[in-house]
């Protein structure tokens, strides 16, 4: 059992409660910068309890402030969550506060990660997209299929909020998982950068406002081109969100702490067999036809398929960061930041491309790969390994020799040669 399991966290909290604390904490007066103790991912092997600072806290009893506002089992109207805030309980020990129950731990954890993600937004050029504080629903009740009612989290575009449904597993609760919180936060960026444009220009159905979740969009898009675009954007959304989870945590298997059954298929390690492989337009078309003709629940089948579309994107970007660090002789942290900035720039360009699509046109499922490869070629900053990695994607599915790209040395300069 990993240290980050729910049982271990609760046990550590109880030990601190009985042995390290006495008297009432002055929770009501805690404002501004407040130090709390929460589970934090600190290595490849565990989550452990650490003291962190929550900034701009206005009310610690509700863990509300500049970065988050919480709702317990919320309802919603057309544009926002409704309902009351959960009450957080803390015990003061020296100069910091210890959450006294799981809900309080979740609130403090989510607030902390959202404030860190707000800083990341600014650093990568996405600082003005979200409105703060973010709305967060805990113990959210949904009336959709059984798989979505528990052990899940999702971003909802209708209310611009992050939702956590009841967690019943004995693994690390999703609301404490830094990678999943970053994953869901990214969906809010993708929605504002891409999905709103796709809906407004009628390239996907309005019901795809929560495009990555099972809880919305009971209908499939009306035309084949709309459906192709919807499935591709859903997959791209998921893949980039997984990349964002790694970007924030440096954990290639952040799913394993909370949802171990999904960990292997969503892991970001780039194995040799994965290089150059992605869902081509032909493969996507076949999968959509199969879902429509054979599956009893085509919508759910396509939701599942979208992860197969997305994961190659996540692995590509993660590997591209490593190769970029080597070819440009920069630190991994600097390469990650540059890559995230480029992802935001790419999504802005993708939004423009979507708005210009004709009704019958579909987005290329290789668009992101080709964008970054072409950018590398234009900047002339590549080594042989990066060039060979790139041509694996350029040549995927190509059978005619005259259409094959290659890496060549010309005048002591490595060049990617395209037909």
Q: Which among 164, 162, 141 is positioned nearest to 152, based on CA atoms?
A: 164
CATH 1.10.357 fits 27-176, yes or no: no
pLDDT at 214: 42
pLDDT at 218: 43
pLDDT at 266: 94
Cα 404 to chain centroid distance, Å, stands at 34
Residue ranges of the domains in the chain?
27-176, 178-208+222-418
Q: Give the residues of the chain that fall short of pLDDT 50.
A: 1-4, 19-24, 146, 208-218
- pTM of the entire predicted model: 0.91
pLDDT at 307: 93
pLDDT at 206: 52
pLDDT at 416: 86
pLDDT at 205: 63
pLDDT at 8: 59
pLDDT at 4: 44
């Amino acid at each position: 059992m990993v240290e980050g399991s729910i049982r271990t966290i609760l046990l550590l909290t109880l030990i601190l409660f009985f042995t390290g604390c006495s008297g009432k904490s002055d929770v009501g007066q805690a404002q501004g910068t407040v130090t709390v103790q929460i589970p934090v991912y600190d290595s490849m092997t565990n989550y452990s309890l650490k003291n962190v600072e929550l900034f701009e806290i206005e009310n610690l009893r509700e863990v509300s402030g500049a970065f988050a506002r919480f709702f317990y089992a919320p309802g919603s109207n057309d544009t926002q969550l409704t309902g009351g805030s959960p009450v957080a309980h803390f015990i003061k020990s020296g100069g910091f506060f210890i959450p006294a129950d799981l809900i309080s731990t979740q609130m403090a954890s989510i607030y902390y990660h959202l404030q860190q993600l707000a800083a990341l937004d600014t650093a990568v050029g996405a600082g003005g997209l979200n409105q703060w504080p973010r709305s967060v629903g805990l113990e959210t009740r949904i009336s959709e299929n059984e798989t979505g009612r528990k052990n899940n989290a999702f971003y909802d575009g209708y209310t611009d909020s992050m939702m956590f449904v009841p967690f019943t597993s004995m693994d690390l609760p999703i609301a404490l998982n830094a990678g999943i919180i970053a994953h869901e936060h990214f969906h809010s960026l993708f929605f504002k950068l891409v999905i709103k444009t796709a809906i407004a220009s009628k390239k996907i159905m309005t019901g795809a406002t929560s495009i990555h979740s099972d809880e919305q969009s009971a209908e499939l898009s009306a035309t084949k081109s709309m459906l192709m675009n919807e499935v591709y954007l859903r997959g791209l959304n998921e893949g980039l969100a997984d990349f964002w989870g790694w970007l924030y945590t440096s954990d290639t298997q952040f799913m394993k702490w909370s949802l171990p059954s999904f960990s292997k298929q969503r892991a970001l390690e780039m194995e040799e067999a994965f290089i150059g492989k992605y869902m081509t337009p032909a493969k996507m078309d076949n999968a959509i036809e199969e879902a429509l003709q054979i599956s009893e629940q085509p919508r759910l089948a396509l939701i599942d398929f979208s992860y197969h579309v997305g994961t190659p994107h996540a692995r590509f970007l993660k590997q591209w960061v490593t190769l970029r660090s080597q070819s440009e002789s920069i630190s991994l942290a600097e390469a990650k930041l540059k890559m995230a900035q480029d992802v935001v720039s790419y999504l802005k360009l993708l939004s423009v491309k979507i708005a210009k699509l004709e009704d019958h046109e579909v987005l290329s499922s290789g668009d992101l790969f080709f964008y970054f490869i072409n950018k590398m070629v234009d900047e002339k900053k590549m080594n042989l390994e990066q060039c060979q990695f790139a041509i694996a994607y350029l040549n995927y599915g190509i059978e005619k020799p005259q259409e094959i790209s290659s890496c060549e040395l010309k005048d002591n300069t490595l060049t990617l040669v395209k037909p």
